Amino acid sequence: MKRITFYLDFISPYAWLAFERLPQELEGLSYSVAYKPVLLGALLQQHANPGPAGIAPKRDWTYRHVTWLGHAQGTPLQMPARHPFNPLPLLRTALACSDDGYINRFVVGAVLRHVWQGGHDALDAARLAELAAQLADQLRAGEDAASDGPKALLRANTEAAQSAGVFGVPAFEVDGKLFWGLDSLPMLRAYLCGDAWFDGPGWDAVRQLPSGLPGKA
């Protein structure tokens, strides 16, 4: 059985779409998923990447695109009342349910639905309280979003993701290979199915391809 590490930040609509799509995409295969929350903003900052929301026309397109993708794959998706927003309260709430940096599918789904269903404000205080109540049975003893434990776990998760080469979410790691984005799921399935392409030069050869831009190696 292959173990897939699913890196996600709840601010990403693609993480929500991939969360819903993954079981269908990998149907019939033997695997397990370990969900690892990370701070997307830190991953983007490491590479001086403003992200889709940092480029006005791309922001418009991204929100239009993900809304259509939700419609196309049958996943309810309504943009929250404000986006982007600071995801730290949600990430720390989720990690208050963890002692090792990983969270279970119930917690992931609860937080993602909180953000991506209904078109509400993800950081509304009353709604955050409702989310915490929904996760009460999952919380570690004495932990909540304001505790030091979840903060430390998030920092460690994000640093580990950066060290592993994760540059965005959703990202899926298996056997040391990273697959990025909702549209990588068919490629992930092919790898898990033993597609011979992965035994050839196609995976690693791209690292040797020189750039044609000045000052780039």
pLDDT per residue over 148-202, tens digit each? 999 999 999 999 999 999 999 999 999 999 999 999 999 999 999 999 999 999 9
139 is a domain residue: yes
Q: Which amino acid is at 198?
A: F
State pLDDT tens for residues 112-123. Answer: 999 999 999 999
Full domain range(s) for residue 63: 2-208
Burial track 83-94 (b if 16+ CB lie within 10 A, e otherwise): bbbebbbbbbbb
Report residue 155 as tokens: 């920092």
Bridging pattern class, strands 177-180 and 2-8:
unpaired
Across 83-111, average pLDDT: 98
CATH of the domain at 134: 3.40.30.10
Number of domains the chain contains: 1
Distance CA 10, CA 122 (A): 10
**Dihedral over Cα of 173, 179, 185, 188: its sign:** negative
Asked, for residue 216, whether it belongs to a domain, the answer is no
Answer whether residue 217 is part of any domain: no
Residue 159, domain member (yes or no): yes
Residue 145 — pLDDT band, cuts 50, 70, 90? confident
Q: Is the pLDDT of residue 131 over 80?
A: yes
- pLDDT of 78 strictly over 80: yes
Establish if 53 belongs to a structural domain: yes
CA–CA separation, 38 vs 167, rounded Å? 11
The mean pLDDT of the chain is 96
Selection from 50, 48, 49, 43 nearest residue 162 by Cα: 43
Q: Is residue 162 part of a domain?
A: yes
DSSP secondary structure, 139-172, as one string: SPTT--TTSHHHHHHHHHHHHHHHHTT--SSSEE
pTM of the predicted model as reported, rounded to 2 decimal places: 0.96
Is 9 contained in some domain? Answer: yes
Looking at residue 143, its pLDDT comes to 84
Residue 141 in domain: yes
